[in-house]
Amino acid sequence: MNFKHIIIQGIPKKLPSKKTYDSSVNRAPKRKDILSVKEKKLAISNALRYFPKIWHKELAEEFKLELANYGRIYMLRFKPVYQIYARPIDEYPAKIKEAAGIMMMIQNNLDPNIAQHPDELITYGGNGAVFQNWAQYLLTMKYLATMDDKQTLHLYSGHPMGLFPSSKKAPRVVISNGIMIPNYSKPDDWEKYNALGVTQYGQMTAGSFMYIGPQGIVHGTTITLMNAFRNILKKGETTKGKVFLTSGLGGMSGAQPKAGNIVGCISITAEVNVLAAQKRYDQGWVDILISNIKDLVLFVKKAKSKKTTVSIAYIGNVVEVWEKFLIEKIDVTIGSDQTSLHNPWSGGYYPVGVSYEEGNIMLKDDPKKFKQKVQESLRRHAKVIRAHTEKGTYFFDYGNAFLLEASRAGGDVMNKDKSDFCYPSYVQDILGPLCFDYGFGPFRWICTSGRSEDLKLTDKIAEKILLKIRKNAFKEIQTQLDDNINWIKNANSNNLVVGSKARILYANAEGRIKIALAFNRAIASEKIGNIVLGRDHHDVGGTDSPYRETSNIYDGSKFTADMAIHNVIGDSFRGASWVSIHNGGGVGWGEVLNGGFGMFLDGSDLCNKRIKNMIFFDVNNGIARRSWAKNANALLAINKEMKKTPKLKVTIPENVNTSILDSLF
Ligand SMILES: NC(=O)c1ccc[n+]([C@@H]2O[C@H](COP(=O)([O-])OP(=O)(O)OC[C@H]3O[C@@H](n4cnc5c(N)ncnc54)[C@H](O)[C@@H]3O)[C@@H](O)[C@H]2O)c1
């Protein structure tokens, strides 16, 4: 059977042979053994729903073993034997191109060159799942291959509930991940219901098929780091010879060394998992691997004296580096952390003093002790960061819940009156005021032809449009435009593509709409093939996350999630090809609701309307909410937008004189 036939078959007619455990790929850590015997039976019975009765006896034994060995039932035997990667769109069996585009995005998210734990269908962040198991993948691909443009596929946490009649204008796929009854949305609830096979943690772009490899994050990280340096460097100072110390070379964190090189500093990224570090090294994302702390100190001192731009991966625990640099008096200009602390008890953060291998064993055999070690480590981590910041280091939380978990562990991360953290998040200081409030966010596109020439042409188109917009741009957004013009000019030579031919660019509503319309024209005139548009959920309007995307909202509404819900509903009837809404992403289950979309460009007039209507709403819904919270930059942006767009009428807040309030109490 060829690839197309295998896809259309869905669940195979013949039981595939059993797979042997492949330890050469990066495997997900064993998840917590949380189910009672009764619940384990339910989990196995849930899994068997996908298969004919005749296989149940054999599969029941195997699924029991998977549950015991991995804490989840992945149905590893059903992983297809064909290679999984973003194929050119014409290679997919499909009645409609829109569906083929979605299949391509799914495969890109499961490509072993991209996915963190490909066998367990995890794309990034330790637990960011595309599907819970291989049966869901097989069935979804079959539904997409057979659907027409008057049907919509509904996915419940990876499970394809089915195709429902809809209309041409409706989204082709509606995705929800991890949505729970709010009172049942605590970390152990997630472990339990995920183990039962009824929910999954879709992260942001994994469960919405919009992850495009670390490139997506390199750009955001570069912008963050660049502006972090701008915020603190004194006049005349440059990034040369300045140290950026952080951790994590995983899915997103792996972008840090590359960003450090683009910015021109010395970056040290600690990583406990040698396989993760090696992967980034092999891809050319980090210059050098060092596993001995003494060698690291010597190397950094030399690089500082020579002001070399270099990115170093230290194979070991980040706390060791912070502590050693304190003793060795190595000044850290900027510090951060990108361990997966949104997932602290299941392998997101490895405690200092315990090797990676020992940590994994402890996690499996003694999760209580592991948790205790993580909390001890976080207290030590916080203490040494405090010592560095007192000497001048600028430390910011990178949206990985470091401050949240360190505070829960009793670490020294609070301000004097204990009312708030003593360090800002990168959104509070940098991305919020400088980007999100003006509507700049991680817009992206994917060339479905798989041709590099298409990508090059789209880069040129985007550059031309940004240059045109820059001519009349108001002064507050000129730097953002300049950074992005610079980015897109160099994007190709930075060699950032892993997997599909994709590009990311921070743009505001005007930029996103004009670029998308220009792409649609180029498709209509057959200069390029079809394009998929999308964005990271980590954006202006899709995500309510009080410790990250909406951390710079100060009217109390950061603990509400209306914006994300309006985003996904609003996008769905304005022209998205698929929409998604997730509980959890980045900062953890129960800590965030995030919405996203994908849009397939086919060169048609209808597509022009969709672009104008949907992208406009997607961005301005977020700016409106930010302006209602009285964020000055968002107010400026939305007032300007209302002048340009008469049909936009946003409620504008009135400022209150604080003396009136003070006189009340
Ligand atoms: N890059 C961004 O722009 C961005 C934005 C928001 C949030 N985040 C957050 O950053 C975190 C990391 O994301 P990811 O996709 O890279 O996750 P990941 O799990 O793929 O990578 C984290 C890496 O940290 C390593 N690690 C864990 N503990 C360590 C320790 N003590 N010392 C050294 N290394 C350690 C792990 O081995 C792992 O490889 C997540 O919580 C994510 O939500 C990133």
C-alpha of 417 from chain center = 33
Question: Among 10, 171, 11, which residue's Cα sits nearest to residue 93?
Answer: 10
The ligand 1 atom nearest the CA atom of 203: 43
Instruction: Write out the E strands in 240-363.
Output: 243-247, 266-271, 288-290, 310-315, 334-335
CA of 453 to the centre of ligand 1 (A): 33
CA of 239 to the centre of ligand 1 (A): 24
Do residues 254 and 276 lie in contact, with contact meaning Cβ atoms separated by under 8 Å?
yes
The ligand 1 atom nearest the CA atom of 256: 1
Least confident of 214-223, 267-276, 349-358: 214-223
CA of 27 to the centre of ligand 1 (A): 16
* Nearest Cα residue to atom 26 of ligand 1: 339
The ligand 1 atom nearest the CA atom of 317: 32
Mean local confidence (pLDDT), 496-509: 95
CA of 266 to the centre of ligand 1 (A): 19
Ligand 1, residues at Cβ distance < 6 Å: 116, 124-126, 217, 220-221, 247-253, 255, 270-273, 276, 317-318, 338-342, 349-350, 398-400, 538, 586
Q: Which residues, 6+ apart, have CB-to-CB distance to 320 below 8 Å? A: 270, 293, 352
Mean local confidence (pLDDT), 475-489: 94
Determine the pLDDT at residue 615.
Answer: 98
* Nearest Cα residue to atom 5 of ligand 1: 399
Determine the pLDDT at residue 187.
Answer: 79
* Nearest Cα residue to atom 1 of ligand 1: 252
CA of 398 to the centre of ligand 1 (A): 9
CA of 347 to the centre of ligand 1 (A): 10
Determine the pLDDT at residue 372.
Answer: 97
The ligand 1 atom nearest the CA atom of 221: 3
Name the residue with tokens 């997900």.
28
Mean local confidence (pLDDT), 237-245: 97
The ligand 1 atom nearest the CA atom of 401: 41
Determine the pLDDT at residue 251.
Answer: 80
Best probe residue, ligand 1, of 377, 400, 427, 436 (max atoms within 8 Å of C-beta)? 400
Best probe residue, ligand 1, of 203, 338, 370, 436 (max atoms within 8 Å of C-beta)? 338
Distance, in Å, from the CA atom of 8 to the CA atom of 622, rounded to the nearest integer, reads 40
CA of 211 to the centre of ligand 1 (A): 15
Determine the pLDDT at residue 309.
Answer: 97
pLDDT of 34 strictly over 90? yes
CA of 9 to the centre of ligand 1 (A): 37
Name the residue with tokens 């840090």.
256
CA of 638 to the centre of ligand 1 (A): 34
Distance, in Å, from the CA atom of 465 to the CA atom of 512, rounded to the nearest integer, reads 10
pLDDT of 343 strictly over 90? no
Do residues 549 and 427 lie in contact, with contact meaning Cβ atoms separated by under 8 Å?
yes
Distance, in Å, from the CA atom of 197 to the CA atom of 57, rounded to the nearest integer, reads 19
3-class state of residue 646 by DSSP:
coil
Mean local confidence (pLDDT), 257-274: 96
CA of 260 to the centre of ligand 1 (A): 16
- pLDDT tens-digit map of 460-481: 999 999 999 999 999 999 999 9
CA of 649 to the centre of ligand 1 (A): 41
The ligand 1 atom nearest the CA atom of 587: 43
Determine the pLDDT at residue 366.
Answer: 94
* Nearest Cα residue to atom 25 of ligand 1: 248
Determine the pLDDT at residue 311.
Answer: 98
Best probe residue, ligand 1, of 280, 340, 538 (max atoms within 8 Å of C-beta)? 340
* Nearest Cα residue to atom 32 of ligand 1: 317
* Nearest Cα residue to atom 21 of ligand 1: 250
CA of 125 to the centre of ligand 1 (A): 6
Determine the pLDDT at residue 166.
Answer: 98
Mean local confidence (pLDDT), 12-22: 92
Determine the pLDDT at residue 252.
Answer: 84
Mean local confidence (pLDDT), 397-406: 93
Q: Which residues, 6+ apart, have CB-to-CB distance to 103 below 8 Å? A: 7, 92, 94, 141, 144, 145
In whole numbers, what is the pLDDT of the chain averaged over residues? 96
In DSSP notation, 449-507 reads: T--HHHHHHHHHHHHHHHHHHHHT--GGGHHHHHHHHHHHHHHTTTT---SSEEEEEEE
pLDDT of 54 strictly over 90? yes
Confidence of residue 214 (pLDDT cuts 50, 70, 90): confident
Tokens at 409, concatenated: 């562990």
Best probe residue, ligand 1, of 253, 346, 594 (max atoms within 8 Å of C-beta)? 253
Going by their DSSP bridges, the two strands 173-177 and 151-156 should be labelled as parallel
CA of 456 to the centre of ligand 1 (A): 31
The ligand 1 atom nearest the CA atom of 351: 31
Determine the pLDDT at residue 19.
Answer: 87
CA of 217 to the centre of ligand 1 (A): 12
* Nearest Cα residue to atom 6 of ligand 1: 399
CA of 567 to the centre of ligand 1 (A): 27
pLDDT of 196 strictly over 80? yes
Determine the pLDDT at residue 49.
Answer: 98
Residue 339: CB atoms within 10 Å:
30
The ligand 1 atom nearest the CA atom of 585: 43
Least confident of 11-15, 182-186, 557-561, 571-575: 182-186
3-class state of residue 272 by DSSP:
coil
Tokens at 491, concatenated: 């994007």
CA of 314 to the centre of ligand 1 (A): 14
Distance, in Å, from the CA atom of 194 to the CA atom of 54, rounded to the nearest integer, reads 26
Confidence of residue 587 (pLDDT cuts 50, 70, 90): confident
Instruction: Write out the E strands in 201-265.
Output: 243-247
CA of 338 to the centre of ligand 1 (A): 4
pLDDT of 24 strictly over 90? no
Determine the pLDDT at residue 186.
Answer: 86
Instruction: Write out the E strands in 227-319.
Output: 243-247, 266-271, 288-290, 310-315
The end-to-end CA distance of the chain, in Å, is: 77
Best probe residue, ligand 1, of 339, 343, 373, 425 (max atoms within 8 Å of C-beta)? 339
